[in-house]
Structure 1
Amino acid sequence: MQKIENQRAIIDRKSIFEALQLIHEENSANSRAQILSLLQQSLENGRKEIAHRLMNAPSAGHAAAAQQAFLVDQLVRIIYDHVTQNLYPVANPSAAERIALVAVGGYGRGEMAPHSDVDIAFITPIKRNAWAEQVAEAILYWLWDLGLKVGQSNRSLDETVRMAKEDLTIRTALLESRFIWGDRDIYAEARNRFWAEVVGKTAPQFIADKMAEREARHQRMGDSRYVVEPNVKDGKGGLRDLHTLYWIGKYVHRVRVARELVDFGLFTKAEHKKFWNAENFLWAVRCHLHQITGRAEDRLTFDLQREIAERMNFADREGQSAVERFMQFYFLNAKIVGDLTGLFIAHLDNNMAQKGRRFLPTIMRRPRKLNGFRLDRGRLALPNQDFFKEDPVRLIEIFQLADKFELEIHPEAMRTARRQAKLIKKITRLDPRANELFLNILCSERDPETVLRWMNEATIFGRFIPDFGKVVAQMQFDMYHHYTVDEHSIRAIGLLAQIEQGKLKKDHPLAASIMKQISSRRVLYVATFMHDIAKGRGGDHSVLGAEIAEILCPRLGLSDAETEMVAWLVRHHLLMSATAFKRDLSDFKTILDFCQIVKSPERLRLLLVLTVVDIRAVGPAVWNSWKRQLLTDLYDAAEEVLRLGHKQRGRDERVKTKKANIQENISLSKSAYNNIARKLPDPYWIAEPEDIIERNILLLHENKDTELALDICYYPERGATLVSIMAADHPGLFYRMAGAIHLSGGNIIDARIHTTKDGVALDNFLIQDPLGRPFQEEAQIAKLKQTIGDALANRSKLAPKLEAKPLVRMRADAFKISPSVFIDNQASNRFTVLEVNSRDRPALLSNLAHALFKSKIMLHSAHIATYGERAVDTFYVTDLFGAKIDNKNKLKSIEEALLKAALGENVPDVGIAA
C-alpha cells in the first residue's frame, strides 16, 4: 500500500479501541448501541478527512484510494479485537480456534473508493468450527451495521485452494489477497498453497481467460474508450483494464506492485510512469464520483462531469469549456491505457509463445513486397530501430501496408512509431508520397476504420494532419453525441466503407444504391473525414471546416474541382438533416430552397450518403427508420426537381400516381373513393406515404357521420405508433392532442396536420415512449385511445391533469440551454415558420402547443426533432384567416409566448391578431 501521511488524523485505532473497551467495561450487556455510534462516528470522521485531503489535492487518486483502504483496515481490526477479546474470548485456543482475516480483490490491493465493496475472506486452518463461525458472523454484522457493503467468504484452507482452482473470479480475488488481522500463519500457508497448488503452470490459461473476460466486459460497456459517459471502473480504458494487466503480470511473474513489471521487461520505466499517472487520474475521478453521489457510482454521467471538472481545477478556455477540457484529458488517459495494454500483450506474446508461433491466435499472411519492413510471426515489424528515422514517410507507409495486405502491426513497431511520431514535421506533411499513402488508407476499399484508429492510437494521425490532432479526445458536452470528435469521424469513415461494400444495405438501401452512382468517391471519403474537423474552435464548425478543407485537400493531392466539392460538403453537411427533420417536405418551396443550395444531382448523392453516416456514427440507437424515411422523401423530391427543372410538373405526376395506386389497392368502390379523394388537398398527397393515406381514407369513409374518430396502430416502418385523428377543425385541436399524448406517457416525434376542403381536420402523429420505443401492446394502445378520445371530446379536464402530472427528472437537466425562437417568413410561400430551440423535457410540446393556441394562430404542420438534450420544434402557422403573420407586434408576442412555454412558465392570453 502507498505510504499514508498523518494516519491518526484519519483514524486513531488505539484511542478508539480504548474508548470502546471503556464503554464495554462500564455496561457490557447493553454497550452495542454506544459502540456502534463510536464506530460510525470514526468512519464518518475518517471519510471527511479523506475528502478534505482530496479537495486540497484533487488529482491525488492513489493517495485517496490508499487512505480509504487504511480506514477500513483499522475499523476491521478494531471490530476483530472487540469480537475476539470481549464477545467470544478463548482462554486457551485449540489449533482449530484460529482465523485469518484476509482482504481480497481491490481491497486486497490496498485501493478503495469511498463506497467500494469491502471484500474479506475468513480463512480457518481446518473445517469451520462454532467459534470461527461466531466470530465471522459477529464481524460481518458490525460491518453491515456501519453501512458498508461487504463481500465475504468463510472457508478452510483446503476449501480455499479447491475453490480457487475451480473459479476464475475467486482465483483473481485471492491473487490480490492481503493480510488484515488475526492469525498471520494461516494467511502465510494460504499464500504458499495458492502459488504452489493453484497457479502452478496455469499461466497461459489464466491469461487467455482474463483477456476473454476483458473482451466480454468491453462489449457490455459499448466497446469504445470514447463514449461520452464512460464507466471509470469497468469501461474500455478504465481502471479494470489496468488491473487486468497487473493481475496477469502478478500471476506470471509474482510481482507485488505494478512498478515491478519493469523488472520483467513488460514495461519500460517511461511506460510504467504512464501506467502510474493514468491509474492515479482514474482513481481520483472515481473517488470524486463516490464522494459527490454518496454511493458506489462509477459512471461519469453528464451531471457529474461538470462538478468533477470544477473540483479538479479545470478552467474554461477559448472554444472549450472546463468540462470539455476535463473530459478530453480523461479520454487521453483512456487512450494511454489502451496503448499500454497493446504493448503489454505483445511482450507476453514474445515471452510465452513457442518459437515461430503466436501466443494469441492470428491469421498468418506472407506478402512479398514490404519495402524494407519485415514480418514477425505474421505481424508487420521493423528491421531496426532507426528505420523510421531514415525516412519519416515510413511512419505513414507502415499503416498503408497494413491496410493493403490486411496485416496487424507488431506492438514494438507501434511503440516505436508512437515514440518517433515527432519525426513528422512540415517537410513530411508536404511530401506528395506521404499524402498519397494517407489518401490510400483513408479511401481504402478494405477496412479504413481499423487502420485509421491504429494511426490515431499511435498519434501519427494527429501529427500528419494537425487539424485532426486538435479534435483527438475532444468531447462534445451534450447528450446527442456518444463519442469524442475523432472517434465519431473514424466511425463515420468505417460506416461509409461498410455501405459501399453492401454490408449495411438493409439499414441504408438508398445510400447503398447511390454509392454505385457516385463518381466522386474519394471526395466523399475526404469530406466524411473532415466534416467535424473544426469542432471546438469557437465558431461555426461547418464554415471553419470548409476553410480547412480548401487548404488541406490540395496537399492530399485532390484537384481544384475535388477540393471545391469537399469544401462544399463540409460547409453544408448539416443541410440535409436540418431540412428533412425540421421543415415541411410537402411545402414545395422547402424543396426548391434546398435544391437552390445543392444545385446538382452529384452533390445531392454525396450529401445524402454523408448525412447518413454522420447520423449513424453519432451513437447507438440514433439512426432509425423514421429518419431514413424523411431523408428518402427529401432525396426523392429534390432529385426530381434537379432532374426535371424547377417545375411542379413532376409533383403533379406524383399526386396522380399515388391516387391511382391507392384506388387500385383500397377496398372501396370507385365512387366512394373519388368522393373522399377530391376533398384532400395536394399537399396532403405529397406529405403522406401511400399506406397511411389508405388508412386515412378508410377512417374518413367509416366515420363520415361522426364528428370524431381515432385510428391507432403500431407502425414498424417508422419504429413508432401511428395516431390518426379525424375531427371538426377548431383552434386548440393540436394542443389537446399533444396534452393527451403526454398524459399517456408518449412523445410526439412527427406531426402532419391537414384540413380537408370541407373543413375536417385530418392529422397524423407518430409517437414513441420516453425511451424511443413504439406503443405496440394492446393495453398500451387502448389506454392511449381512451386518453386521447376523452381529451378531444372534452370528457375530462385537460389543463388540471397536465398541471398535476409530475415531471420526471431527466438527464437533460444537467445542461443549461437558453431557449430561442426563430421566425421565418421566407421559408414558405403560404406559411410563417416558427422554430423553437430549447432543452428537451416532458410536456414541452404540449406547452408550446398551448402557447400557439393562446396566441390565436392556426397551426398547419409541426416537425419535432431532438438532438440529445436539445429539442427543435418547428411549426408552420397562419393567422386565423389563413394568411402569413407579418405584423411585428403580433410576431413579438408569439415569440415571447413560445419562450415562456419553453421555460415551463404560464403563457397569458394574446389578443386577436391585427
Structure 2
Amino acid sequence: MTGTDERTSAESPEPGGYAAARLRLLTEGARTGPPRRAALAELTDDWLAGLFTAGAGRPRGISGISLVAVGGYGRGELSPRSDLDLLLLHDGSDPTAVAALADRLWYPVWDLGLDLDHSVRTLAEARRTAGEDLKVQLGLLDARHLAGDLGLTAGLRTAVLADWRNQAPKRLPELKELCDERAERQGELRFLLEPDLKEARGGLRDATALRAVAASWLADAPREGLAEARRTLLDVRDALHLSTGRATDRLALQEQDQVAAELGLLDADVLLRQVYEAAGIISYAADVTWREVGRVLRSRAVRPRLRAMLGGGKQVAERSPLAEGVVEQDGEVVLARAARPERDPVLPLRAAAAAAQAGLPLSPYAVRRLAAAARPLPTPWPAEAREELVTLLGSGRPTVEVWEALEAEGLISRLLPDWERVRCRPQRNAVHIWTVDRHLIETAVRAAALTRHVHRPDLLLVGALLHDIGKGWPGDHSVAGEIIAKDVATRIGFDAEDAAVLATLVRHHLLLIDTATRRDLDDPATVRSVADAVGTQGTLELLHALTEADALATGPAAWSSWRGSLVADLVRRVGALLAGDLLDEPAPTAPTAEQERLAIEAFRTGGPVLALRARSEPVPAEETPGAPEPLGVELLIAVPDQSAVLPAVAGVLAVHRLTVRTAELRTLRLPQDVHGDGSVLLLDWRVAAEYGSLPEAARLRADLVRALDGSLDIGGRLAERDAAYPRRRGLLAPPPRVTVAPAASHHATVIEVRAQDAPGLLHRIGMALEKAGVRVRSMHVSTLGANAVDAFYVTTGAGEPLPEQDAGSVARALEETLRAP
C-alpha cells in the first residue's frame, strides 16, 4: 500500500531485549553526547515500531493510523531518563482497533518503568487541541514519524506548521509570556547554584522556544554558539540522569561533583562555569530574538496606516544620531553608515556608552561588526576611551544589557583581558545571588546611584568594576585583586596616583563592613587600623560608597539600615582621625533613653528586663517602592552583670525557635552617685520567629530567669527537639573556623567565629567561652545567608586581654566544640 512505512520487522521485539540493549548503550563509554542520544532514540524507534507493527497486523495492512514522536523525543534527543512523548494518529475510521492498538503500545512502555506522555487523536483533533493549548502545539512542531501511515504523519506536520505560521502574530506573544512566567518562577540559570537545566531562563525550554520562533518565519535567533550551548546543557542533563538514576533536571549541589566526574571535568566549579556560559548564550539569543519579534509585530501593525499616509510609498526607517559613528534606528543602537570600526578603536566603547545612556539595546549586528573589525586600543588607552568606559559604567541599569551584548561577542575580554578569569565564575556562597562577573556589573550599577556622593565618580565606578577581579586567582582575592587593579588602571590610562587609589579600594573593599560589624568601634585600635589602611579622606569617601554598592549588589542578606549605620559611624570616626582629631580614649557611646531605662530597672530588681519592638527599613525606591523591608524584631535585654548571660539568652531564644539575625552585647556601668556601684550587661539583638508568631515577652523573661538560675535545662531541651525533628545537614558546608584577630584591640582579645548557621549555635559558643573561663566584654554577631560571622571581645577575669598562648587555646577549644556533631 502506498504511503506506509515498511522499515520494521513484522515481529515485535521482546521488552527484555530492548531493556538490555538500552542498558548496554547507557553504560558503555564509547558513545556519549549527541551520538548516544541519537542511538538511544533510534533503538527506541525500532522497538516502538515493532510494537506498532505487531499490534496493527502486517505492514501492508496498516493504513489510516500512524505512531508519531513529539517534543524532545520527536527531535531525537533522548536522555537516559527522558519520558517518551507519543501520539497515536488515526483517521477515525475504526476507533475500536485504535484503542486496542494503543493498549498494545502503552503497556509495554509502562512495564519497563519508562515515563510516557501519550495521546490518541485524529488530525482534526490534534489541530484543534494545538490551537487551544500552546504547549501541545510546540510539541507537535517537532513531530517525527515512527511507524504506520507515513502520509498521515506528513499531513499532520504540514498542517501544524501552516497553522503555526498563520497564527504566529497571536501565538508568539503568548509564548513570550510563557517564557517570562517561567523565568520569574525558576530564575536565571546562569546565576543559580542549583539550576534547573530545563525550566530556568537560558535553559533547554528557552532553546526549544527559539526553535519555535524560527519555525514561524517571523524572526530567527543568532546562530553563533547556540547549537553548542544547547548540546552542553543536554550533555549535562545526560550525566545528571546517569549519576542520580532519576529523571531530574535540577543540578543539586551534592550531585555536581559526581556529574562533573561523569563528564570528565576537573570539578563542580568547572561544570557550573560551562553551564553558565551555555545559559548565557541562550539567554542572549532569546533577548535578541524576542526583541526582533516585537519589532516585526509592531511593524506589521503600523505598516498599513503608514502606507495609506504615504500613498503606498516605501517606508524608510528614521536614523537619529547619538554619538560619532553611532545612531538610533528602530529602537536599537546601530553604527552609522559612515562608521569605520577598523579605523576607530574607541568606537565599541563609544557605541556602548551611547546605547546605555539612551537606555537602548545595542544591535547584535552592530556588535558583531565591531567584534570583527575594530582595532585594539593602544596602551595606555586614550582619554576618550577611558571616559566612554566610565560613561558606560555610570549609566545605571541599562549598563547590564549593553555589557552583556559586548560579552556575547567577546569584546569585553578583548578590552579587559583579566575579565576572562571572572567570567561566568560561580560563587559558592548563599549570600551572593550573582556570578562574579555579573556581581561586578551590578556593583557598578549600584555605584552609579552614589556618584553624587564622591569627589571622583570615575574612580568609584572603575573600582566597583574591579573590586572582585582577583577572584579568578588563588589566595585572598583582595590581595590578588590589588595587583590586577593597579595594572588595569595603568593600562586604561589612569595616572600613578589614581591607579594607587584604585588598588587601595580593591585591596580594602571589605574593610569597612567587616570592621563595622565585627569590631568594637569604641576601641581606638579599631579606628586607627582603618585609618592606616585607607590613608586619606578622599579614599575613605570612595571606600564608603563602594562598600554600600558592593553590599547592595551582593544580595538582600548583605545590607540593611543597621549595617549601613554601623559603617557610617565607623567612617565618621576614621574621618575625624584623618582630619587630626585624637581618639586615644573616646567616651563610650551613650546608651539610648530606653536602654538606660532598662538598665536601671535591671539593676534595681536584680533580674533580667527585656523589651520587644518591631523594626523595619524602607526598600530602595528603585526596587520595590512602598512596603518596608522587615528586619524582624528588636530584642533589648538588660541583665545585672553576672556569668553565663550569653549562653543563657542564646539558649532561651533557640528553645523558642527564634532566629538571631544580629546581636550586640556590651557592659554599661551605671553612675555611682545615682545608682550605686554596679554594671549591667546590655544586649541589643534582632530576632525573627522560625515558625509562626513571636512568643510573649513575659514567657521569654520567665525562661531567661530560669536559665540564669540553672533550673532550665537548655541543652536537654535543644537535644530533645533535634532528636524529634532531625535536620538535613548541608553536605557541602565547610567546617567552622575560629581565629584570633591580632592587634584588633588594645583592651580585649578578639576571637572570630565563622560557621554554618544553625539553631543553638550561639548558645554552644557561649557555653564554650564560659567553660574556657573568659569574660565576654562585647560581641558583634551577624548572619549572612547560611553563614554566621561573629566576633567576640573577651578578657581575663581581671579585664585584661588574654595572653597570646591562652587566646590560641581558647580558639582551638571553641573550634573543636563547633566541629563536634
| TM, length-normalised to structure 1 | 0.75
Question: For residues 47 and 654 of structure 2, what CA distance do their matches in structure 1 show?
Answer: 52
Partner of 2:33: 61
Instruction: Mark the CA change 1:357 to 1:565 in structure 2 (over 3 Å): closer, same or farther.
Output: farther
Deviations 1:668-717, CA, capped at 9 Å, x for gaps: xxxxxxxxxxxxxx45x35xxx4xx5167258638944634544454335
Matches within 5 A, 1:25-104: 38=16, 43=19, 45=20, 48-53=23-28, 60-70=32-42, 73=45, 84=55, 100-104=66-70
Partner of 2:686: 766
The range that moved more, 227-236 or 874-883, is: 227-236
The range that moved more, 802-811 or 480-489, is: 802-811
Partner of 2:673: none
Structure 2 counterpart of 1:165, one-letter code? G
Give the drift of 1:597: 3.1
Matches within 5 A, 1:547-566: 547-566=483-502
Question: For residues 572 and 540 of structure 1, what CA distance do their matches in structure 2 show?
Answer: 12
The range that moved more, 344-353 or 554-563, is: 344-353
Question: For residues 94 and 440 of structure 2, what CA distance do their matches in structure 1 show?
Answer: 59
Partner of 1:398: 351
SS in 2 for 1:874: strand
- For structure 1, which runs of at least 5 residues remain unmatched after alignment? 1-12, 21-37, 254-264, 316-321, 501-514, 653-681, 906-914
2:801 to 884, 899, 907: 884
The range that moved more, 144-153 or 129-138, is: 129-138
Say if 2:83 and 2:115, in contact at 8 Å, map to a contact too: yes
Give the drift of 1:486: 1.5
Partner of 1:330: 275
Question: For residues 729 and 808 of structure 1, what CA distance do their matches in structure 2 show?
Answer: 36
2:127 to 151, 157, 161: 161
Question: For residues 534 and 734 of structure 1, what CA distance do their matches in structure 2 show?
Answer: 38
1:302 to 239, 242, 253: 253
1:854 to 750, 766, 771: 771
Question: For residues 94 and 325 of structure 1, what CA distance do their matches in structure 2 show?
Answer: 52
Say if 2:319 and 2:327, in contact at 8 Å, map to a contact too: no
Give the drift of 1:600: 4.0
Say if 1:230 and 1:300, in contact at 8 Å, map to a contact too: yes
Partner of 2:314: none
Question: For residues 416 and 535 of structure 1, what CA distance do their matches in structure 2 show?
Answer: 31
Say if 1:302 and 1:477, in contact at 8 Å, map to a contact too: no
Partner of 2:312: none
Deviations 1:560-579, CA, capped at 9 Å, x for gaps: 44333222211211101111
Matches within 5 A, 1:800-879: 800-804=716-720, 805-806=722-723, 812-815=730-733, 817-824=734-741, 826-867=743-784, 870-879=787-796
Say if 1:820 and 1:837, in contact at 8 Å, map to a contact too: yes
Give the drift of 1:135: 5.7
RMSD across aligned positions (CA): 4.1
Say if 1:532 and 1:541, in contact at 8 Å, map to a contact too: yes
Give the drift of 1:766: 2.2
Say if 2:189 and 2:276, in contact at 8 Å, map to a contact too: no
Partner of 1:582: 518
Deviations 1:447-504, CA, capped at 9 Å, x for gaps: 444433332333222211212233222233443333222211111111222x24xxxx
Give the drift of 1:614: 0.8
Q: Does 1:733 align with 2:679?
A: no
Question: For residues 132 and 380 of structure 2, what CA distance do their matches in structure 1 show?
Answer: 56
Q: Does 1:417 align with 2:370?
A: yes
Instruction: Mark the CA change 1:429 to 1:458 in structure 2 (over 3 Å): closer, same or farther.
Output: farther
Say if 1:710 and 1:726, in contact at 8 Å, map to a contact too: yes
Partner of 2:226: 275
SS in 1 for 2:320: coil
Partner of 2:385: 434
Instruction: Mark the CA change 1:17 to 1:793 in structure 2 (over 3 Å): closer, same or farther.
Output: farther
Give the drift of 1:175: 1.4
Partner of 1:222: 187
SS in 1 for 2:555: coil
Give the drift of 1:437: 2.9
Q: Does 1:701 align with 2:595?
A: no
Say if 1:367 and 1:405, in contact at 8 Å, map to a contact too: no
Q: Does 1:537 align with 2:453?
A: no
Deviations 1:187-224, CA, capped at 9 Å, x for gaps: 4443343344x335222333333333333333333357
SS in 2 for 1:300: coil
Structure 1 counterpart of 2:662, one-letter code? D
Q: Does 1:492 align with 2:443?
A: yes
Deviations 1:236-272, CA, capped at 9 Å, x for gaps: 332222212211222339xxxxxxxxxxx9579xx46
Give the drift of 1:786: 7.5
Give the drift of 1:823: 1.9
| TM, length-normalised to structure 2 | 0.83
Question: For residues 220 and 264 of structure 2, what CA distance do their matches in structure 1 show?
Answer: 34
The range that moved more, 782-791 or 467-476, is: 782-791
Say if 1:232 and 1:300, in contact at 8 Å, map to a contact too: yes
Q: Does 1:191 align with 2:142?
A: no
Structure 2 counterpart of 1:462, one-letter code? S
Partner of 1:605: 541
Question: For residues 277 and 708 of structure 2, what CA distance do their matches in structure 1 show?
Answer: 55
1:243 to 187, 208, 216: 208
**Identity %, equivalent residues:** 27
Question: For residues 119 and 796 of structure 1, what CA distance do their matches in structure 2 show?
Answer: 61
Say if 1:741 and 1:787, in contact at 8 Å, map to a contact too: no
Question: For residues 164 and 762 of structure 2, what CA distance do their matches in structure 1 show?
Answer: 62
Instruction: Mark the CA change 1:218 to 1:842 in structure 2 (over 3 Å): closer, same or farther.
Output: same
Q: Does 1:569 align with 2:481?
A: no
Give the drift of 1:797: 2.6
The range that moved more, 437-446 or 461-470, is: 437-446
Structure 2 counterpart of 1:813, one-letter code? L
Structure 2 counterpart of 1:894, one-letter code? V
Partner of 1:468: 419
Say if 1:710 and 1:789, in contact at 8 Å, map to a contact too: no
Question: For residues 639 and 619 of structure 1, what CA distance do their matches in structure 2 show?
Answer: 28
Instruction: Mark the CA change 1:369 to 1:417 in structure 2 (over 3 Å): closer, same or farther.
Output: closer
Question: For residues 562 and 303 of structure 2, what CA distance do their matches in structure 1 show?
Answer: 47
Matches within 5 A, 1:352-363: none
Question: For residues 47 and 277 of structure 1, what CA distance do their matches in structure 2 show?
Answer: 26
Q: Does 1:233 align with 2:198?
A: yes
Instruction: Mark the CA change 1:385 to 1:276 in structure 2 (over 3 Å): closer, same or farther.
Output: farther
Say if 2:603 and 2:680, in contact at 8 Å, map to a contact too: no
Say if 1:436 and 1:556, in contact at 8 Å, map to a contact too: no
Partner of 1:777: 693
Partner of 1:179: 145
Instruction: Mark the CA change 1:445 to 1:18 in structure 2 (over 3 Å): closer, same or farther.
Output: closer
Structure 2 counterpart of 1:722, one-letter code? E
Say if 2:663 and 2:684, in contact at 8 Å, map to a contact too: yes
Partner of 1:118: 84
Structure 1 counterpart of 2:91, one-letter code? P
Question: For residues 548 and 637 of structure 2, what CA distance do their matches in structure 1 show?
Answer: 32
Structure 2 counterpart of 1:619, one-letter code? G
Partner of 2:631: 719
The range that moved more, 778-787 or 406-415, is: 778-787
